[in-house]
Amino acid sequence: MAGDSAIGIHDLSFATTEFVLTHTELARHNGTDIGKYHQGIGQRSMSVPATDEDIVTMGAAAAAPLIARHGGDGIRTIIFATESSIDQAKSAGVYVHSLLGLASATRVVELKQACYGATAALQFAIGLVRRDPAQRVLVVAADIAKYEPDSPGEATQGAAAVAMLIGADPALLRIEEPSGVFTADVMDFWRPNYREAALVDGQESIGAYLLAVEGSWKDYTEHGGRAPDEFAAFCYHQPFTKMAYKAHRHLLNYCGYDIDEDRVARDLGLTTAYNNVIGNSYTASLYLALAALLDQAEDLTGRAIGFLSYGSGSVAEFFAGSVVPGYREHLRTTAHRAAIDRRRPVDHARYRELHGHSFPTDGGDHRTAAETTGPFRLAALRGHKRVYESR
C-alpha cells in the first residue's frame, strides 16, 4: 500500500522582503530600551515589504528554486497557506502557479487558520501523496505580519514565505504518523475583513498558546507519539523567538521535567536564527525554524525533530519528523543566508511610509514603483486586478 512508503519534505526554500528595519532603529525612535527587544522578545530586526511585493511575490520567489531543481511535471496540487490574503475569493496560489509557469492540470487552493495554516497544508499534502505516491505537492506559506504603529505588537512584525515540496521518499525529512491536535475558541488574535492590521490580546495569546501546547502534546502521546527525550530538537511557531522558549519550558514542566536551561538551549537554540532577524511570518514561521535548524546543525541524520504548530483562535498540532540520511546535500543554506543579507536597511521614516502604503479602492490604474530586485514584482492594481511581472 502507498501508506507504507515514507512521505515528507523533499525540498524547502524561503524568501523574504527587500527591506529591513532593525530593532535598534525602532528603539531609537520610540525611546524603548533595546534590551526589551533583543532580550525581552528575542528579536533583532524585521523584514519590511516594499510597495511592489506581497505574499504572491514572496511565495513565487520561495517556490521558484524548487521548480528549477526538480521541474514542475510531478506537481498536481499547490496549497497556499496564509492569513494575509489578498482576495476573498481567488487563491493567491493561482498567481504563483502562473508566475512559475506550471501546467494547467493542477489544483490550487488557499488555506487559512492563522499561523497554523501551513501545517494543515503539509498534512493535507501528505494525504494526497499517500493516495498517489507518484505526485508531489507544492506547499507555499507566505505572510506579512502587520500591526498598528506604536502598538505592543509593532516590534514583532515581519514577512517571509516558505515553499516546500512534499513527496514520497523525501530527501530532507520524513513526517511520522502520530499527530496531536487541539482546538479552542479564543479571541487572542484576529483580523476582521475591514481591517488591514491585526488585533491582538498579548496576554490572552500567550495563555492560549501554552494551553494549546498542553492539549496537542496530550493528544500526541495518546496516539503513540515519542517521549520528549527522543527528540534532538524542537521547532515551535515563533510570533517572537522568546515565545518558543516559554512554550518549551511549559511543555517540559507539563511532562514532569525540572527546567534545565542548558537543555532548553540545546533543544531550541539553532531554531531561532532566521526568525529573530525576519520577525513574525505567521504561517511560514515554524518552517523558518526548521530551515534554521537544518542549515546550522552539524548532523541530524536519523534524529527526530518535534514540531509545535500554533494558530491563534486557536488550533494547534504537535507532530514529529525524522531527518533523512544525506539531507545536507539538498540544503539551501547559502541561498537562505543571502535572502536575509540582501535586505536593504530603512530608517524609521521610510518604514512608516511603507507601513502606511495601501492601494486606492477606486478601480483605477495604480502602478507601483520598481523598488524590489527579486524575480517577481507586483506591478500595478488595474481595474481592481493585481498585475504581476516576472523579471
* Res. 384: pLDDT tops 80: yes
Provide the Cα torsion 233, 235, 240, 241; round to 10°.
10
Domain around 331: 2-390
The domain that holds 121 is classified in CATH as 3.40.47.10
- Tell me how far apart the terminal alpha carbons of the chain are, to the nearest angstrom: 44
Write down the pLDDT at residue 294: 98
Mean pLDDT confidence for 259-267: 95
CB of 157 within 8 A of CB of 196? Answer: no
37-43, long-range: CB < 8 A, 24+ apart = 37/155, 40/242, 41/155, 41/156, 41/240, 41/241, 41/242, 41/243, 42/240, 42/241, 42/242, 42/245, 42/272, 42/276, 43/155, 43/156, 43/240, 43/241, 43/276, 43/279
Determine the Cα–Cα distance for residues 323 and 79; give it in Å rounded to an integer.
23
The per-residue pLDDT for range 309-352, each reduced to its tens digit, is 999 999 999 999 999 999 999 999 999 999 999 999 999 999 99
* Res. 200: pLDDT tops 90: no
Mean pLDDT confidence for 65-78: 97
* Res. 3: pLDDT tops 50: no
pLDDT band at 90 (very low <50, low <70, confident <90, very high): very high
Assign residue 269 a region: left if phi > 0, alpha if psi is -120 to 50, beta otherwise? Answer: alpha
The per-residue pLDDT for range 121-180, each reduced to its tens digit, is 999 999 999 999 999 999 999 999 999 999 999 999 999 999 999 999 999 999 999 999
Write down the pLDDT at residue 2: 37
What are the strands, taking DSSP E only, across 116-157? 136-145
* CA–CA distances in Å: residue 216 to residues 95, 235, 254, 365: 34, 14, 12, 48
The per-residue pLDDT for range 318-330, each reduced to its tens digit, is 999 999 999 999 9
Write down the pLDDT at residue 196: 84
Helix/strand/coil for 199: strand
* CA-CA-CA-CA torsion sign (130, 61, 356, 88): negative
Mean per-residue pLDDT over the chain, rounded = 96
The residues annotated with a catalytic role in the active site are 83, 115, 237
* Res. 1: pLDDT tops 70: no
Nearest residue to 122 (alpha-carbon basis) of 282, 7, 14, 221: 7
Counting Cβ atoms within 10 Å, is residue 259 exposed (0-12), middle (13-18) or buried (19+)? Answer: exposed
Number of domains in the chain: 1
Helix (H) or strand (E) holding 308: strand 304-311
